[in-house]
Amino acid sequence: MKGKKTTVTQKGALKKVLKYVGRYRFLMILSIVMAAVTVALTLYTPILIGEAIDLIIGKGNVDFKGIAKLLAEIGMIVGATALIQWLMNTVNNRITYHIVRDVRNEAFRKLEILPLKYIDAHPYGEIVNRIISDADQFADGLLMGFTQLFTGVVTIFGTLLFLISISWKITLVVVIVTPLSLFIARFIANKTYKMFKLQSETRGEQTAFIDEMIGNQKVVQAFSHEDEALEKFDEINARLAKCSLNAAFYSSLTNPCTRFVNSVVYAGVALAGGLMCISSATAAVPFTVGSLSCCLSYANQYTKPFNEISGVVTELQNALACAARLFELIEEQPQPEEPADAAVLKDAAGSVELENVSFSYSSEKKLIEDLNLSVKPGQRIAIVGPTGCGKTTIINLLMRFYDVNSGAVKVEGKDIRYVTRHSLRSSYGMVLQETWLRAGTIRDNIVMGRPDATDEEVIQAAKASHAHGFIKRLPNGYDTVISEDGGSLSQGQKQLLCIARVMLCLPPMLILDEATSSIDTRTEIKIQEAFAKMMKGRTSFIVAHRLSTIREADVILVMKDGHIIEQGNHEELLKKNGFYANLYNSQFAV
């Protein structure tokens, strides 16, 4: 049952991110236009500063009026640049968080339709980490990319144009030396992607472990497993620290390396410009100190984006690594779609058949092979056997939580693969040993299967399940809010709520898997009486380890290693003196 693991490469992640970006073309174009205007205004300012410097001709020969006019113009340009930059950042924020919202929505929608084999095969904390933490890391990198990448690229090309208009010789010096920083940034980026992905995966493993420990704290303490849990956490934490340090070390090399190249560029421009000032002093159009100041300013502005872009590239590596994990979840194979002509089960009588069913969770380990079973409407079928024999697996197949590998499961003569899941599952009522509760009121938990139920119907179902008494003792009765783990409710009380939920719906078929395992003996007797009334005329599948609870079953299936080895009612199986008789006598031997 283990499917091929979905993997998304760096290049693939980038293509998918660009598809999401494409949804906001207008905002992207607006951002690019504002980036271009911001850069143009920023690059025009050094020209004005250069002109102002040239107006300072010498001692006692300063054009104060001209300088004042230029300073006023510079002030207006700087103010306009700041306003446009603020608007651009607002637009970039909007693009980024809309994209992350879309990715999260798709991830959660996919989570809702993923087959249970994926959920069972991945720790819950690791899945949560992808949708929450990885999405946040992706947003941070994407925001930095939009904010600095566009502006940086436009600045580089704009600066070159302004430099060429002043001196093509100095432009040549800049262009020859600068590509070194790009090669350095690319080399480091290739190294850091794998490290950031490993960091993200290890962080997910850590989140999953913490989630497991918090959810099972009572078990950990009951078995004095604290020291082992700490050792395991320390080991994961040490690996996370190591891969995080490696990623941080390589990514932090980018800035100093590119700054060194940029300093070389600046020094080259200063040297070349100084020589040109001296050599052209007697020329018709001299290369002035103002022009040199302007070139130095442009050289600094030209190299600055390389530092920013190299930093952005590092952040984008992290963002793409996190995005890849999100896209892996989004691209997982969903549960098979229902056929267009899928039948809708209406008023099911309760006829169920398993024909030559074979199923295993893993291809390496066989479980159920060639299983045949025919259940007539209204029959009570008990399934017993040792742990791991396939009892709960049959329940999973009946509910179509898993599809059979071969053979067919039929309800009312229809293969359930060609029946809508909603109508199939609505035809069953389930009470399991593991309780299913949601965050909300007691009433919300009871009406989960019938949201339109009246208060009288809810109270009647609670009374039938013997839950009404403890509910009335709660602070707000049926309006008491509980968490998904039941809060202060006992395990037995939580199970009574689940029983009340089924008694409210009264579906045509029932599945009871150790439904009274957490209930005291006195209440269990009353519940069994209520179940007996509820099961009358309804097909019921009862999974039980306590064989005293299934004596009245019409048919008892005795399973071992995925096969039905004995079949009959209680008396018939005892007379056979086989596996069932041994199980029963082992529980009631004096």
What does the alpha-carbon distance between residue 562 and residue 171 come to, in Å, rounded to a whole number?
A: 78
Contacts of 24 (CB under 8 A, 6+ apart): 94, 95, 98, 99
Q: Which domains does the chain have, with CATH numbers?
A: 10-330 (1.20.1560.10), 437-506 (3.40.50.300)
What does the alpha-carbon distance between residue 560 and residue 566 come to, in Å, rounded to a whole number?
A: 9
DSSP 3-state of 484: coil
pLDDT number for residue 506:
82
Contacts of 560 (CB under 8 A, 6+ apart): 385, 386, 389, 579
What does the alpha-carbon distance between residue 194 and residue 329 come to, in Å, rounded to a whole number?
A: 18
- For the chain, how big is the Rg over CA atoms in Å? 36
Contact 488, 376 (CB under 8 A): no
Contact 381, 555 (CB under 8 A): yes
What is the DSSP secondary-structure string of 525-539?
HHHHHHHHHHHTTSE
Contact 315, 145 (CB under 8 A): yes
Side-chain half-sphere of 247: how many Cα atoms within 13 Å?
23
266: Cα separation from own chain's centroid = 46
Contact 354, 562 (CB under 8 A): no
Side-chain half-sphere of 61: how many Cα atoms within 13 Å?
4
pLDDT number for residue 434:
77
What does the alpha-carbon distance between residue 108 and residue 99 come to, in Å, rounded to a whole number?
A: 14
What does the alpha-carbon distance between residue 339 and residue 337 come to, in Å, rounded to a whole number?
A: 6
**Could you give the angle at the alpha carbon of 576 between the alpha carbons of 572 and 580, nearest 5°?**
85
Would you call 486 exposed, middle or buried from its count of C-beta atoms within 10 A (0-12, 13-18, 19+)? middle
Counted residue by residue, the chain has a size of 590
The tens digit of pLDDT for each residue in 524-558 reads: 777 777 777 778 888 888 887 767 667 778 888 88
| The 3-state secondary structure of 326-360, one letter per residue | HHHHHCCCCCCCCCCCCECCCCCCCCEEEEEEEEC
Tell me the CA end-to-end span of the chain in Å, nearest whole number.
Answer: 44
According to DSSP, residue 57 is labeled E
The pTM (predicted TM-score) of the whole model is 0.67
Sign (positive or negative) of CA dihedral 346, 350, 351, 356? positive
Would you call 382 exposed, middle or buried from its count of C-beta atoms within 10 A (0-12, 13-18, 19+)? buried
Would you call 72 exposed, middle or buried from its count of C-beta atoms within 10 A (0-12, 13-18, 19+)? exposed
**Alpha-carbon distances, residue 42 vs 37, 45, 47, 78, 345 (angstroms):** 8, 6, 10, 7, 69
Report which residue type is found at 490.
Answer: S
DSSP 3-state of 545: coil
Kind of pairing between the strands at 406-411 and 428-432? unpaired
Contacts of 88 (CB under 8 A, 6+ apart): 31, 34, 35, 38, 151
Report which residue type is found at 471.
Answer: I
Give the pair of three-digit tokens for residue 236: 């994961």
DSSP 3-state of 378: coil
The segments of the chain whose pLDDT lies below 50 read 1-3, 590
